[in-house]
Amino acid sequence: MSVAANTPRVDHRASVLVVGAGPTGLLLASELHRRGVDCHLIEARPAPLPWDRATVVHPRSLQIFEALGLSGKFLEAGCRQRSIKIHSSGKVLGTLDLTTCGSIYDFNLGISEEVTESILTSYLHQQGTEVNRSSRLVGLTPHANGVLAEVDRDGERYQVDARWVVGCDGIHSPTRELSSIGLEGHDIPKPWAVFDATLEGWTDTFETTFVFFGAVPTIFTAIPGRRWRVYLRPSSPDSDLVADASWALRSYAPEASFVDVKNPTRFRCHTKVATRYRSGSVLLAGDAAHLCSPAQGHGMNCGLQDAFNLAWKLALVHHRIADPALLESYEAERRPAAELVTKSGDDFEDALTATDPIKCHERDQVIRAMIGDPKARQHEIVAETELNIHYSRSPIVLGDASSSLPAGYRLPDTILVHRSDQPLPRLHRFAQRAGHTLMLLAGPSASLSAFAALQAALQACITGSPLFEAVFAFSTNPELPVQTGYLETSVADRLGLHEITLLALRPDGYIGLRSEYDHLDSLERYRALLLAGR
């Protein structure tokens, strides 16, 4: 019997349907495939965008890309932005030096989003899958074992029977709307605009983002080829964008001018967060889950962290290693991160658009005070680079919260490992795996025999484990036997090491367990916590 052209048919069965092939969806689909989870990735656009206004890749995202073996490609394609210089009333208020952020990636990376998408698409193809384009989600029907999704592809309709659906489909997310998930927040009243240009006669550095408070708030963000992506708040709905942004040049660099202007675009922005990140078998990530001001470049980066957080959890559930309740930790960890960056964006919006002279003066005083206070300045730098995100209140982390590097925090990427016979990668590189990594760290008071015995016991514990992938042992004493490498004495203080510390490193680089005593019992409690998901 023939089937009418507009009658849906079940063409695909997949464990996960990923909706949207922006950076978030591309990373999620790639990571699921890398972990042996079959997924079907659809995208409404018939082809990748030739240009996209998003620009900045933050250090935390570069850490993610390093774990995937992609950081070199991004560094080759982008340009380093090592500082942020803030101006007002014709003067420099101060500079945020990103080289002090605490990562080996001590800079933001200027790279247009279509290039980011291109690199991630190539990575997706390496995992043996592809983007199904011109495919728009038009229906979701839950059933006992998942969701039946209806997809329109160039007027033809087909169905995907999936256990899970993840909407990475942006601001107007069909996944979110079909799941009746709300979006709380507000529209940003004043529009934004952007264009790319060369600054002829520019004599300042090309490794800094320049922020100009004033009549037409303007931000110059460096991109490759000694070009600039210029973001601004237009003076009127039909104003000349180049003329609007030229006020900053007249005030701060009168010898410079915009030439070779490309892609002038106006756009609206929003500050909103989904009321929930999961409804049954449907989850949200990226712009489908949160929207924020573009001023600090957090939108895409926050979505990448969503994908990296969700992929390993969804894989454990798919392989029936963990209970589906584990997925509740995704919202518990990532929604507070979205709330943090949306509030930060609103605060910056208020500062950027202030016009009252008294309020502008107060804003400038606050910024000067912040930059002049080492502690406050460092707090701002770490927040800008998204290295302030932690999950210490997550329901699936375990350990003493009073230590200097407690459970729920990211393992720093700056800690060196030594061994006399060969150079070794930094400490965090040992944990860049698809599964959990156990690290045994011996402080200055560690017992040699206890350390060796515990390492052997841990190795026996993980044999055949679907959760824990490897055990590595490190100490501050190069004479201690049975170890992978040794750490400088200063690291003991930095990590709060005294006797023997056990860390369970999650696949996303965060510490899931920190145990100082009763290590094997603690590890079993953590394993049970993960498998139960609560």
Confirm whether 125 is domain-assigned: yes
Q: Are residues 260 and 315 in the same domain?
A: no
Q: Are residues 164 and 275 in the same domain?
A: yes
SS3 of 173, please? coil
Q: Reading across the β-sheet that carries 398-399, which strands appear in turn? A: 398-399, 511-515, 500-505, 436-442, 468-475, 485-486
For residue 504, what are the domain limits?
Answer: 398-532
User: CA-CA distance, 296 to 316, in Å (whole number)?
Assistant: 34
Q: Are 292 and 30 in contact (CB under 8 A)?
A: no
Q: Are residues 25 and 172 in the same domain?
A: yes
Q: Are residues 451 and 464 in the same domain?
A: yes
Q: At 365, which helix (H) or strand (E)? A: helix 357-372
- CATH number, domain of 130, equals 3.50.50.60
Confirm whether 89 is domain-assigned: no
pLDDT at site 206? 95
Q: Are residues 139 and 257 in the same domain?
A: no
Q: Which of 268, 290, 322 is the last residue of a domain?
A: 268
- CATH number, domain of 422, equals 3.40.30.120
Q: Are residues 260 and 199 in the same domain?
A: yes
pLDDT at site 477? 81
Q: Which of 341, 373, 390 is the last residue of a domain?
A: 341
pLDDT at site 9? 63
Q: Are residues 35 and 132 in the same domain?
A: yes
pLDDT at site 4? 39
Give φ, ψ of 108 to 5 degrees.
-80, 155
Q: Are residues 460 and 326 in the same domain?
A: no
Q: Are residues 131 and 199 in the same domain?
A: no
User: CA-CA distance, 177 to 183, in Å (whole number)?
Assistant: 9
CA proximity to 169, closest of 18, 340, 347, 10? 18
pLDDT at site 479? 76
In sequence order, what DSSP letters do the residues of 490-501 get, joined into one string?
A: HHHHHHT-SSEE
Confirm whether 348 is domain-assigned: no
Q: Are residues 217 and 313 in the same domain?
A: no
In sequence order, what DSSP letters do the residues of 202-238 get, joined into one string?
A: --S-SSEEEEEESSS-EEEEEETTTEEEEEE--SSTT
Sign, Cα dihedral of 259, 57, 491, 455? negative
pLDDT at site 453? 93
Partners of residue 10 on adjacent β-strands: 159
User: CA-CA distance, 266 to 244, in Å (whole number)?
Assistant: 13
pLDDT at site 2? 31
Confirm whether 98 is domain-assigned: no
Q: Are 188 and 293 in contact (CB under 8 A)?
A: yes
Partners of residue 439 on adjacent β-strands: 472, 503
Confirm whether 367 is domain-assigned: no
DSSP letter for 411, please: P
DSSP letter for 144, please: T
Confirm whether 390 is domain-assigned: no
User: CA-CA distance, 215 to 217, in Å (whole number)?
Assistant: 6
Give φ, ψ of 152 to 5 degrees.
-100, 120
Q: Which of 249, 268, 287 is the last residue of a domain?
A: 268
pLDDT at site 8? 59
Q: Are residues 214 and 259 in the same domain?
A: yes
Q: Are residues 442 and 508 in the same domain?
A: yes
pLDDT in tens, the chain (534 residues): 233 345 556 778 999 999 999 999 999 999 999 999 999 999 999 999 999 999 999 999 999 999 999 999 999 999 999 999 999 988 999 999 999 999 999 999 999 999 999 999 999 999 999 999 999 999 999 999 999 999 999 999 999 999 999 999 999 999 999 999 999 999 999 999 999 999 999 999 999 999 999 989 999 999 999 999 999 999 999 999 999 999 999 999 999 999 999 999 999 999 999 999 999 999 999 999 999 999 898 999 999 999 999 999 999 999 999 999 999 999 999 999 999 999 999 999 999 999 999 999 999 999 999 999 999 999 999 999 999 999 999 999 999 777 889 999 999 999 999 887 788 899 999 999 999 999 999 999 999 899 999 999 999 999 999 999 999 999 988 777 768 999 988 899 889 999 999 999 999 999 999 999 999 999 999 999 999 998
Q: Are 226 and 204 in contact (CB under 8 A)?
A: no
pTM for this entry: 0.96
* Number of structural domains found in the chain: 3
User: CA-CA distance, 175 to 178, in Å (whole number)?
Assistant: 5
Confirm whether 354 is domain-assigned: no
Confirm whether 39 is domain-assigned: yes
- CATH number, domain of 243, equals 3.30.70
User: CA-CA distance, 75 to 56, in Å (whole number)?
Assistant: 12
pLDDT at site 32? 97
Q: Copy the structure tokens of residue 455.
A: 């390492």
pLDDT at site 402? 75
